A and B are shown apart, each in its own frame.
Chain A
């Protein structure tokens, strides 16, 4: 592959430039004194100050974080159960439908998910009185439903590659199946559960369309606020928000990646 190295590097560089260019522009202009993108007014952090005083934005952010945390937690439980069922149980009634229901949300257009769930909630409210009005609860339910599909994919792949004989050995040594799951299986698939949680958290935090459909008065999520703000034009406060998000995410990924990388290096040097 050495001959093609320059070509490959060029392709990759263009690709990454394409991916990161907009993000970098966001960050750069969050420090722009001027409101306009065309004019560089000098370095300034005033937009960050304005951001921190924007109550509506902060309130929405807090709500979104709470929704995301709840969603991620429930999604991990449901997704892991689904992954277990699909990987460990070879045949069962409803397997085909479970497979479909677990892969469809991955590609289903959000407008359809949002609209259909809203109609369900409205009908449920009129028949059994719950959910009473739409808000945080309905958003969490909606987010969990599609997030769990992603969790299932992540956990499924880790579970499928796990050495089955580890579970058999535990059974052989006298551990009952439930114990085997908690002392052997769970610790081994733990990284995928964490990855799934983070994935579900991000998906929920980021969702605009579904939340718009199933939300209610008083439950305005961060994307909804950003969206209405963005429709009015470019706003440097959003740039500041974007930079903060990018910063947080990059930091998390770097830390997690570094920890995992060091673990791998340690394992490799210790093994004979």
Chain B
């Protein structure tokens, strides 16, 4: 799972004077007494591949539809390129959407589908044909131009939907679960292509997905949504390595969570007493914390090493028994039970095809990790 992003060091969202392309200001959408979107504010910049990630019902699709113009916010404003588009209908926004069900017009050919948006803006026929050819080439379906949607496979329909949405060269492309209907291999291939196309055309993509792997692979930044609110908005790496809440930590990837309370704190390190693991943990953390405060230490499984012997002075060491092993081919996931009953997960790459002494069930292990590899969560 490689990150495909090739962003230059100066990420646009960090430049102080950069005007964001999309400004979502305090948007709320209420259905009766249910808040689908609860006071969300986001800035999205030109050229980003921005993902709205979250489980079903978190409000991501509603938010996307408000950007497209199919839902009006209960309160708040949306600005695209400096212009207030909150009340602007979808056919007047510089935004195009690729629908989850593709929504290809069944009574038109592929070429006509792609040309539809161009016809609406009154583009001349010759120019239209040129643009359609350009789009067909972009998604590599030149041969399918005269076919009708029911004559295409799922993957082909997806390309047509993409081509149609890009045909008008919109400033922003909205994608609603674009890879949902594809099988795994096709999905991986399409992820590469989507990122390529986005970088080539320089269009801002805003994607809704529930698949975190997808979001992590393709995005420049991810907004993790939960129950109508944003939990964290950050590039994938920061989201993974520096989650800001328990929810983010457990949603993205796997994590070991140790509940405890603050014992003492140095400049950049804090000692946390964790009773369920019956140990003290040392964590690097620069924000000031109150001693006695309840916190959670988050530790990613791959950051854990198997130690040969106990170092009495070093922190972050745990002894336990391997209870479960999941062999995934490239890595293996081990579940270790501590004396108190708590389970800790760690992963190891299977570096050797046949290890001399592989770890096995009921084997006692000593686990350790560095203070820099874990984090403290206060929420």
In the complex, are there CB atoms of A and B closer than 8 Å? Answer: yes
Instruction: Specify which chain A residues have a CB less than 8 angstroms from the CB of B361 in the assembled complex.
Output: none
The answer to whether A172 and B91 touch across the interface, beta carbons within 8 angstroms, is yes
Is B68 an interface residue when CB atoms closer than 8 A count as contact?
yes
Asked if B20 is at the interface (CB within 8 A of a chain A CB), the reply is no
Chain B 120-160, CB-CB to A under 8 Å as 1, else 0, gives 11000000000000000000000000001011110000000
Q: Is there a chain A Cβ closer than 8 Å to B327's Cβ?
A: no
Please measure, in the bound complex, the distance between the C-alpha atom of A170 and the C-alpha atom of B116, giving whole angstroms: 8
Cβ of A141 within 8 Å of any chain B Cβ, yes or no, is no
Query: What is the bound-complex CA distance between A224 and B151, given in angstroms?
Result: 51
A270, B150: Cβ atoms closer than 8 Å: yes
Q: A179-B120, A267-B150, A271-B150 are in contact. Are A171 and B89 (CB under 8 A)?
A: yes
A90 at the B interface (CB under 8 A): no
The answer to whether B96 has its CB under 8 Å from any CB of chain A is: yes
Complex CA gap A1/B288 in Å reads 74
In the complex formed, the residue of A with least CB distance to B107 is A187
Interface string of A159-181 (1 = CB under 8 A from B): 00001011011111111100100
* Residue interface mask B97-129, A partner, CB < 8 A = 1: 101110111110000000011001100000000
Cβ of A176: which chain B residues have Cβ within 8 Å of it?
Answer: 91
Closest Cβ–Cβ distance, residue B90 to chain A (whole Å): 5
The reply to whether B70 and A173 contact each other, CB–CB distance below 8 Å, is no
B164 at the interface (CB under 8 A from A): yes
A228 to B101, CA, bound (A): 58
Mark B79-91 against chain A: 1 for CB-CB distance below 8 A, else 0. Answer: 0000000000111
Interface of A, secondary structure class, is: helix
The 0/1 profile, CB within 8 Å of B marked 1, for residues 12-48 of chain A is 0000000000000000000000000000000000000
Cβ–Cβ < 8 Å partners of B45 in chain A: none
Chain B minimum-CB-distance residue to A167: B103
Residues of B within 8 A of A272 (CB): 152-153
User: Contact: B152 with A173, CB < 8 Å?
Assistant: no
A184 within 8 A of B: yes
Q: Chain A: how many interface residues by the 8 Å CB criterion? A: 20
Q: Do the beta carbons of B99 and A169 come within 8 Å of each other?
A: yes
B107/A173 in contact, CB under 8 A: no
Q: Complex Cα distance A174/B165, Å?
A: 11
Nearest CB on A from B70, distance (A): 6
**Interfacial chain A residues near B120, Cβ < 8 Å:** 173-175, 179
Assuming the A-B contacts A271-B150, A271-B151, are A172 and B107 also in contact, with contact meaning beta carbons closer than 8 angstroms in the complex? no
Whether the pair B117, A163 counts as a contact (CB closer than 8 A) is no
| B116 proximity list for chain A (CB < 8 A) | 170, 173, 175
In the complex, what distance in Å separates the CA atom of A259 from the CA atom of B160? Answer: 29
Chain A residues, CB < 8 A from B117 = 173-174
Residue of A nearest to B117 (CB): A173
The answer to whether the Cβ of A188 comes within 8 Å of any Cβ in the partner chain is: yes
A165 — which chain B residues lie within 8 A by C-beta? Answer: 99-101, 103
Contacts of A184 in B (CB 8 A): 105
Q: Which of B153-210 touch A at CB < 8 Å?
A: 153, 164-165, 168
CA separation between A270 and B92, bound complex, in Å? 36
Whether A163 and B101, one on each chain, are in contact in the complex, defined by CB atoms closer than 8 angstroms, is: yes
- Point out which of A170, A171, A174, A267 has the most chain B C-beta atoms below 10 A from its C-beta: A174
Interface residues on B, range: 20 to 34
Q: Which residues of A contact B151 (CB under 8 A)?
A: 270-271
A169 in complex: contacting residue of B89, B97, B121, B153, CB < 8 Å? B97
User: Which residue of chain A is the closest to B161 with respect to CB atoms?
Assistant: A169
Closest A residue to B101 using CB positions: A165
Contact of A174 among B99, B148, B168 (CB under 8 A): B168
Which residues of the partner chain B approach A173 to less than 8 Å between Cβ atoms?
91, 96, 116-117, 120, 164-165, 168
Cα distance, A270 to B148, chains bound together (Å):
10
Cα A252 to Cα B97 in complex, Å, equals 43
Whole-angstrom distance between the Cβ of B354 and the nearest chain A Cβ: 43
Query: What's the nearest-Cβ distance from chain A to residue B52, in Å?
Result: 17
Query: Is A172 within 8 A of B97, CB to CB?
Result: yes
Q: Are B103 and A171 neighbours in the complex by a CB distance under 8 Å?
A: no
List chain A residues, Cβ under 8 A from B168. Answer: 173-174
Shortest Cβ distance from B97 into A: residue: A172
- The smallest C-beta distance from B162 to any residue of chain A, in angstroms, reads 12
Contacts of B69 in A (CB 8 A): 171-172
**Complex-state Cα separation, A168 to B150, whole angstroms:** 19
Bound CA span A272–B148, Å = 12
CB-based contact B121/A174 at 8 Å: yes
Is the beta-carbon distance between B99 and A188 smaller than 8 angstroms? no
Name the A residues within 8 Å of B104 (CB-CB).
169
Contact call B152/A171, Cβ cutoff below 8 A: no
- What residues on A are CB-neighbors of B70 within 8 Å? 168, 171
User: Which residues in chain A, 132-191, are within 8 Å of chain B measured between CB atoms?
Assistant: 163, 165-166, 168-176, 179, 184, 187-188
Chain A nearest CB from B18 CB (Å) reads 27
Q: Which residues of A contact B121 (CB under 8 A)?
A: 174
Q: Cβ of B96: which chain A residues have Cβ within 8 Å of it?
A: 172-173
Asked if A168 and B90 sit within 8 Å, CB to CB, the answer is yes
B99 in contact with A170 (CB, 8 Å): no
The answer on a CB contact under 8 Å between B99 and A168 is yes
Which of B95, B100, B105, B165 is the one whose CB lies under 8 Å from A170? B105
Given A168-B99, A174-B121, 7 other A-B residues pairs in contact with their CB atoms under 8 A: A166-B105, A168-B90, A169-B105, A172-B68, A175-B91, A175-B116, A179-B120
Of the A-B pairs whose beta carbons lie under 8 Å apart in the complex, a sample of 29, sorted by A's number, is A163-B101, A163-B103, A165-B101, A166-B103, A166-B106, A168-B68, A168-B70, A168-B99, A168-B103, A169-B103, A169-B164, A170-B105, A170-B116, A171-B90, A172-B68, A172-B69, A172-B90, A173-B91, A173-B117, A173-B120, A174-B91, A174-B168, A175-B91, A175-B116, A175-B120, A184-B105, A270-B151, A272-B152, A272-B153
Binding site for A on B (CB under 8 A): 68-70, 89-92, 95-97, 99-101, 103-107, 116-117, 120-121, 148, 150-153, 164-165, 168
List the 6 shortest-distance A-B pairs measured between CB atoms, nearest first. Answer: A173-B117, A174-B120, A165-B103, A169-B103, A270-B151, A272-B153
